[in-house]
Structures are given as structure tokens and as C-alpha cells.
Amino acid sequence: MKLFIYHTPELTPTDTTPDCAIAVDVLRATTTIATALHAGAEAVQAFSDIDQLMQVSEQWLPEKRLRAGERGGSKVAGCDLGNSPLDCTPERVQGRRLFITTTNGTRALQRVQNAPVVLAAAMVNRQTVVKYLLEQKPETVWLVGSGWEGSYSLEDTACAGAIADSLISQTDHSLSDIAGNDEVIGALALYTQWKDKMLEMFHHASHGQRLLRLNGHEDLKYCAQADSLDVLPIQKEPGVLVKKF
């Protein structure tokens, strides 16, 4: 298995596709997706365009859908939810489809949607993603950070490093065996430095600071919890993720 880490969707190769692609948007899209599916959502359907989300979701009965829209960290007008995983309670999402569009995470999912296997990873479901990789042993794996509007995001790279760290610790592979590009080595070093103080790192990260200005401290605390959810979001059809059983 070779891991390749790309800090933003824009940095991924355009002439090849991995056996398994993993979208990472710790703050907060993939954390929200994992939480919604864990809480009983029927599926999560991701859109990069808000107008398309509105058009497609209109075909669903109001009691069977939830619209989640976020731009710049804030909820989009006309949506039921923003992008806070704390809003995805069982009472709210059970049996419903979550139609979601966010500033960054949904773009990452869209970029890799043609891969044979597409997963969504965050700190909260890190170990479930690792378990899948160890069982299925895909030959090439892309970990695609969402970044922020095309630029690097600390927390996504740290999460990718956390996945790499867990893979190495649970196998007899060395770092050189598993690293497909230099970004893997950098991500592993970043995670190793901050693994015992992830919330503190989120406070230093530019997007973490952005969310703090929007009173998102509880979101940061939730998103910093490693391995708290036993759920694997996997793409069923382009843009639609379900819970893998």
C-alpha cells in the first residue's frame, strides 16, 4: 500500500486515479458527515454548488431531507443547518438525507468522486478508516485535504498524518514502505508533534481561529476527539455517502 497526501484538491494529479481516495476536512465537513451517518442519517449527499443542492433536494419530501449549507464558517440562508457536527443529533437526522455544501470539504469529495472507493475521514473516525485500509489493502491511497479556499490547512494534514501513523503502528511496514510522496513524511511529523494536544493545535490553525471568532469552541473540542466514532462514510454513487456496515 502506498499513501499519497495532497494538501488541497487542486494539488491532486489530473491524469490518474487511486484505488482508494479519502477526503479529509476535519473542520468540519467530514466530521459532520461521519457524525450524521453515525446518528442515523439515511445518506449524506455533497454539493459544491448551493443552487444545485436546492434543486436536487427539492425532489425529496421535507420530512425526509435536511439542507446543510456553510460559507465562510457561517450557515447559508435557507438551509436547516450549517456545518456543525453538534447539530447532527439522532433526533434531527434519523432516517433523513443530509444535503450538504461547504466552503471546502465538498469540493474535495467532488474532486475524488470518480475513484473506485471514496471515503470520508476525520479525527473522530480515524481508526475506522485505518481498519478498512488494513482489511482491503488498496494498492494506492490518496488522502486529500480540503484546505481553505485552495490554501493549506494544518488540521487536515495532521489528520492525514494520524492515519499514516496508525497504519505504520499496526503493520510491519516502515515509513519508506508506505510513503508515496514527501507530504506523508511531513504529515506524520506534524501529527507526532501535536497528537497529545490536538485541540491546542486547532486553536493555532487559521480555520480554527476563524471558527473561534464564530463561537465555535465546542465544535473544535468535538472535532479534536480521536477515534470517538465507529463509522465509515463510503461513497455509494458520485457525491452520495452512506454508512458502511
Residue pLDDT, tens place only, 114-134 = 999 999 999 999 999 999 999
Count of CB atoms within 10 A of residue 68's CB? 28
- Calpha distance 13→85 (Å, rounded): 30
The answer, yes or no, to whether residue 84 has pLDDT greater than 80, is: yes
Query: What is the distance of C-alpha 217 from the center of its chain?
Result: 19
The answer, yes or no, to whether residue 150 has pLDDT greater than 90, is: no
Given a contact cutoff of 8 angstroms between Cβ atoms, the answer to whether 39 and 98 are in contact is no
Helix (H) or strand (E) holding 59: none
**Which domains are assigned to the chain?**
2-243 (3.90.1560.10)
The answer, yes or no, to whether residue 38 has pLDDT greater than 90, is: yes
- What pLDDT, on the 0 to 100 scale, is given for residue 107? 87
pTM for the predicted model, two decimal places: 0.96
Residue pLDDT, tens place only, 102-111 = 888 788 999 9
